[in-house]
Amino acid sequence: MEKDRILIKNGHIISPADGLDRTGDILIEDGLIAGIGPAAETNGFEGRLIDAGGCYVSPGFVDVHTHFRDPGQTEKEDIHSGSLAAAAGGYTTVVCMANTIPAVDSPETLGLIKEKAEKEAVHVLQCVCVTKARKGYALTDFEALLKAGAAGFTDDGSPLENPALAEEAMKKAAALGAVLSFHEEDPRYIGTAGINEGAVSAEMRLKGADRLAEIRMVERDLSLAMKTGCRIDIQHVSAAETVELIRRAKNKDEKGLIHAEATPNHFSLTEEAVRKYGSLAKINPPLRTEEDRAALIEGLKDGTIDLIATDHAPHTLSDKNKDFPDCMSGITGLETAFSLGLQNLVNPGHLSLSALITLMSVNPAGLYSLDAGYIRIGHPADIVIFTRDEDTLYERFHGKSDNTPFKGQRLAGKIIHTISGGEVVY
């Protein structure tokens, strides 16, 4: 089916991968970028005209860490509602995690998800399990799953505790050129998950998640990645010590094997949020101290942390409305991520707007070698149009769940349009 022609006029185009940072026009035809120029004649133009004057135009955002709960827990989120949330947040591509019910450990389950995903307006990719049923005992069939269209491998939500199995997985992934993403929390150092072992947990008379839970596993996996030549993604970094470990490893990493994520939750909030928001601030790994938050920001500034990923984790109100030790961990994030990046990274002067787009689009696309993360003639028209001059009041959400401490808050920036594959989807 032929897609509409779209002409985006007068926008400030920022595409770091292409060296674009200027006002201009973009012509879209049949889902692809057909032209980029300083000005285009609009008289007689047949198609949709979008006046982006006063707005920025950038590559659509790419999230390498999201949970759509489909199959198995679709009362929280499904592929369709998750895609709507993604589009509202400026995301044109998302990579879903494998901790569904059943877990995505077979070509058959992966095929069912891909069939649903093909109907959505944004690009929905799916990671598959490292181990069968995410149990940590036996590896899945990497070759068969890649052939079936897996984006990468992760047991996210569960750490890979067995070091011998972790090394075997890395060797296999390295041979196949696949990415492994790791949830780094050693359960031996965790009492109550989702809260930092510190001042707030002590007030609540809880033994929380000690920072050593993350530090010890990251130490192991950085070493194994360098030993095996496997490309890895350290997910949702939370501790200052972890940032320094990754920094040192990257200084020795000549092949670009090591990648790391920061979530907007972790660079925006600290453990103090648990006092104010209770279970809405419960997340794995937990929000830690202001010193940790500052270290994450420094890591984003110097490239130690090269990805911003949402860890979008929808839950029902009944999942959250329980005593803190018993409630589910997780915060939704697709719709608020850009605003939090703008408000807590760009506006205070930590990062330029171009650097934020690199972290939210260019680098995530590069991790999975996607045809995304740039505005380039002949390539897919995956674009977000936004303004810094307006704020957004986050009251109503497009996903099924709104388990976020940012509900009801007014945050910086506003997504105006999201265009995915040449179609205006938001």
Residue numbers annotated as active site = 311
260: alpha, beta or left? (left if phi > 0; alpha if psi -120 to 50): beta
Residue in 239, 395, 404, 232 with CA at minimum distance from that of residue 313 = 404
Number of H helices, E strands in the chain: 14, 16
Both structure tokens of 144: 């068969």
DSSP string over 82-133: HHHHHHHTTEEEEEE-S-SSS-S-SHHHHHHHHHHHTTSSSEEEE-B-SBGG
Which helix H or strand E contains 220, and what residues bound it? helix 212-228
Closest listed residue to residue 127, CA positions, set 91, 98, 105: 98
Four-CA torsion 367, 369, 370, 371, nearest 10 degrees: 130
The partner residues of 312 in beta bridges, in order of sequence, read 66, 331
| Side-chain-facing half-sphere of 312: CA atoms under 13 Å | 36
In 3-state terms the chain splits into helix, strand, coil percentages (rounded to 5) of 35, 25, 40
Amino acid at site 214: E
Phi, psi of 101 (to 5 degrees): -125, 105
Q: Which amino acid is at 52?
A: A
Beta bridge partners of 8: 26, 50
- What distance in Å separates the CA atoms of residue 421 and residue 398, rounded to the nearest whole number? 20
- Residue 423 β-bridge partners: 420
CB 33 within 8 A of CB 377: yes
Peptide bond into 102 cis (omega under 30): yes
